[in-house]
C-alpha cells in the first residue's frame, strides 16, 4: 500500500497491487447464520467456510499470493532429497537473514515443539514478552515455565505507545538475578505479539534484550511469524530507522538473534515454517528431530510447491509496498471504529483489528466468556468469522478453575491483500450495529471441553435466549437484507 493524498484533502491507503484471481463468497441469511453458529457450538473454528462470508478467523495460511509465487509453484523440483527447490529457499534465507543453517518444518508450532524438546529442561524458565497459545503449550509440555515480562503499556488496551510488544528490561534482569542464568532455557521475543493485538517490538528494545542475554550468556530466540508487520512498524514508527531499507532492518534484527523461527503461513505468504541459526551446535541438536517428526532435511514436511512460493514470498517481504498492506488496512478499520466509539485495541497493530470484548460487553462477566460471545454475535450479525482471543483460548488452572486472560479480544484478522475496502466498511458497519445493541448479547458456557487447546474444538452454548433476540432485532432493523 502507499499512503496517497486525495483531492478532497485526506490521505488514504492505496493498493499497490491488483486482484487477478477471485473466489466467490456466500452470505447466508441471518436465520441460517444463527443455526450454523449453534451447530458449531459457538466456536468459530467449527464453522464451515462455505457458511462464512468474510473469513477473519486468522491471517495464517490464507494471505493472498503474488502472481510470481503462484508461477514459481509450477517449476518445483519434486524430489525427496536434494531438491533444487529447497536449495533456492536455503539460499534466499542465507541472503536475507545472514545465517548459515536452516531447518524446514511443516508449520510454526512444529518449530516450537523441536525448540522446546531440545532446549527446555524440567523446571527451566522461558522469559518472553508475551506467549502464543501453541508456544506456551509446547514449553509446558516439556516441563518449562513461561514468564511473561511485557512492559506495562502492552496490557493497556488503549494507548499511544507505538511499541506495546516491548519486553520490560528491568523485569528480565530481576528474573535472571532471582533464578540464576542456568535456570533460563532461553529468552523468547515474539515479533508482532499475536495475542495482545499484533503489537510490535522496537529495534531499540530488541538490542537491549540482546545485551542482557550477552551479559548472562543466555540464548535469544525470536518468533518471527509476524516479523513482516514488525519490520514495517520499525521503519515507520522508530525515527532512528526510517532511512534504513527493510532488507537492512531484517539483517539487523537477525544479527541480534541466536535462533529465529517462523510460521511461513504468515511470514512469506505460503504454508510451512522453519528454524534459522548460525550455531552449528544448535543446528545439530535440532536436526534429528526434524527428520523424526517433520520429514527429510530438504523439505521438512512442506510441499515443494510451497517451498518455491516461500522463497519468493520472503523476497517480496523486503518490499515496503507489500508489507504495509496489512498494517494500513488494520489502521483504516481501527480508525473507523474509534470514530464510532467502539472499543478496540490501539494503536492499530498488524494482523487485524482487535475488539475489546470486556468493554464492549461490560455486562457479561469473564466467566461467561465475553470474547467468545462477541465472536458468536458478530457471526450472527454479519456472517463474518472472527476468533476468540480471551479466556476460552487459555488452559484451565491446575485446580480446574478458569485462567482468566489479561484481555478479552475478538480478533478480526485481515489476511494480507485478501479483502477490499467495501468489505472492511461492511465489517465496521455491522460492529457499529452490534455496539448499539450490545445489551442484547449475553454470555456462553462450555458443554464440551477438551483438556488441551480447548479453543480449537470446545463447544459452548448461549446462556439464555439472547441469540434469538439478536436475530429478531436484526430483522427489525435490516428487513430482508442479508
Using CB under 6 A, which of 148, 223, 229, 408 touches ligand PLP?
223
Contact call for residue 226 and ligand PLP (CB under 6 A): yes
Using CB under 6 A, which of 129, 225, 317, 330 touches ligand PLP?
225
Q: Rounded to an integer, what is the distance from CA 2 to the centroid of its chain?
A: 23
Active site residue 455: yes
Contact call for residue 132 and ligand PLP (CB under 6 A): yes
Residues in the chain: 482
Active site residue 389: yes
Q: Kindly state the smallest distance separating residue 271's Cβ from ligand PLP, in Å.
A: 8
CB of 384 closer than 8 Å to CB of 396: no
- CA dist 317 and 249 (Å) reads 12
Q: Which stretch binds ligand PLP (CB under 6 A): 131-139, 322-330, 410-418, 449-457?
A: 131-139
**102 C-beta neighbours (distance < 10 Å), count:** 21
Please identify which of the residues 232, 329, 369, 455 carries the catalytic annotation.
455
Secondary structure percentages of the chain, helix, strand, coil, to 5: 45, 15, 40
Contact call for residue 455 and ligand PLP (CB under 6 A): no
33 vs 416 by CB, closer to ligand PLP: 416
Active site residue 133: yes
Please identify which of the residues 389, 411, 430, 454 carries the catalytic annotation.
389
CB of 294 closer than 8 Å to CB of 255: no
Q: Kindly state the smallest distance separating residue 18's Cβ from ligand PLP, in Å.
A: 28
Q: 171: closest CA among 139, 134, 128?
A: 128
Please identify which of the residues 55, 223, 229, 258 carries the catalytic annotation.
223
Please identify which of the residues 11, 80, 158, 425 carries the catalytic annotation.
80
- CA dist 65 and 57 (Å) reads 18
Q: Cell match 506495562: residue?
A: 152
Active site residue 80: yes
Active site residue 477: no
Contact call for residue 104 and ligand PLP (CB under 6 A): no
Antiparallel, parallel or unpaired: β 444-448 and 409-413: unpaired
Q: Kindly state the smallest distance separating residue 262's Cβ from ligand PLP, in Å.
A: 8
CB of 62 closer than 8 Å to CB of 266: no
Could you give the residue ranges of the DSSP H alpha helices within 409-480?
A: 421-436, 454-457, 466-478
Contact call for residue 330 and ligand PLP (CB under 6 A): no
Q: Is 352 helix (H, G, I), strand (E, B) or coil?
A: strand
Please identify which of the residues 53, 97, 101, 132 carries the catalytic annotation.
132
Give the interface with ligand PLP as residue ranges (CB under 6 A): 60, 107-109, 132, 134-135, 190, 194, 223, 225-226, 263, 265, 273
Residues labelled catalytic? 80, 132-133, 223, 266, 389, 455
Amino acid at each position: 500500500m502507499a499512503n496517497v493524498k486525495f483531492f478532497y484533502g485526506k490521505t488514504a491507503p492505496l493498493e499497490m497491487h491488483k486482484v487477478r484471481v477471485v473466489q466467490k463468497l456466500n452470505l447466508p441469511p441471518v436465520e441460517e447464520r444463527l443455526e450454523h453458529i449453534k451447530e458449531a457450538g459457538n466456536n468459530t473454528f467449527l464453522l464451515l467456510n462455505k457458511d462464512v462470508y468474510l473469513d477473519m478467523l486468522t491471517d495464517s495460511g490464507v494471505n493472498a499470493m503474488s502472481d510470481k509465487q503462484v508461477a514459481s509453484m509450477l517449476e518445483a523440483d519434486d524430489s525427496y532429497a536434494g531438491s533444487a527447490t529447497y536449495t533456492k529457499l536455503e539460499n534466499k534465507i542465507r541472503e536475507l537473514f545472514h545465517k548459515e543453517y536452516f531447518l524446514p518444518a511443516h508449520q510454526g508450532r512444529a518449530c516450537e515443539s523441536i525448540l522446546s524438546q531440545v532446549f527446555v529442561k524440567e523446571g527451566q524458565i522461558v522469559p518472553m514478552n508475551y506467549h502464543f497459545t501453541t508456544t506456551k503449550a509446547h514449553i509446558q509440555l516439556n516441563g518449562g515455565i513461561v514468564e511473561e515480562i511485557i512492559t506495562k503499556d502492552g496490557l493497556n488496551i488503549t494507548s499511544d505507545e507505538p511499541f506495546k510488544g516491548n519486553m520490560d528490561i528491568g523485569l528480565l534482569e530481576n528474573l535472571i538475578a532471582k533464578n540464576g542464568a542456568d535456570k533460563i532455557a532461553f529468552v523468547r521475543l515474539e515479533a508482532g505479539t499475536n495475542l495482545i493485538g499484533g503489537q510490535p517490538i522496537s529495534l531499540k528494545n530488541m538490542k537491549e534484550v540482546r545485551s542482557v542475554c550477552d551479559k548472562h550468556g543466555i540464548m535469544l530466540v525470536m518468533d518471527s511469524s509476524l516479523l513482516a508487520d514488525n519490520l514495517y512498524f520499525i521503519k515507520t514508527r522508530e525515527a532512528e530507522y526510517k532511512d534504513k531499507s527493510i532488507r537492512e532492518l531484517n539483517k539487523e534484527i537477525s544479527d541480534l538473534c541466536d535462533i529465529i523461527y517462523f510460521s511461513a503461513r504468515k511470514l512469506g505468504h505460503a504454508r510451512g515454517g522453519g528454524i534459522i541459526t548460525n550455531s552449528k551446535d544448535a543446528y545439530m541438536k535440532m536436526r534429528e528431530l526434524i527428520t523424526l517428526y517433520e520429514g527429510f532435511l530438504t523439505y521438512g514436511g512442506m510441499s515443494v510447491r510451497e517451498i518455491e512460493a516461500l522463497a519468493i514470498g520472503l523476497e517480496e517481504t523486503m518490499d515496503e509496498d507489500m508489507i504495509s498492506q496489512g498494517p494500513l488496512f488494520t489502521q483504516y478499520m481501527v480508525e473507523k471504529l474509534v470514530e464510532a466509539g467502539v472499543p478496540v485495541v490501539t494503536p492499530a497493530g498488524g494482523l487485524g483489528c482487535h475488539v475489546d470484548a470486556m468493554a464492549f460487553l461490560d455486562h457479561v462477566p469473564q466467566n461467561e466468556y465475553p470474547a467468545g460471545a462477541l465472536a458468536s454475535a458478530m457471526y450472527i450479525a454479519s456472517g463474518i468469522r472472527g476468533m476468540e482471543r480471551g479466556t476460552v483460548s487459555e488452559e484451565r488452572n491446575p485446580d480446574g478453575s478458569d485462567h482468566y486472560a489479561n484481555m478479552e479480544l475478538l480478533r478480526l484478522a485481515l489476511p494480507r491483500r485478501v479483502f477490499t475496502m467495501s468489505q472492511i466498511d461492511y465489517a465496521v458497519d455491522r460492529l457499529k450495529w452490534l455496539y448499539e445493541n450490545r445489551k442484547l448479547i449475553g454470555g456462553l458456557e462450555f458443554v464440551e471441553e477438551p483438556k488441551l487447546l480447548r479453543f480449537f474444538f470446545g463447544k459452548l452454548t448461549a446462556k439464555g435466549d439472547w441469540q434469538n433476540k439478536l436475530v429478531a432485532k436484526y430483522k427489525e432493523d435490516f428487513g430482508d437484507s442479508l
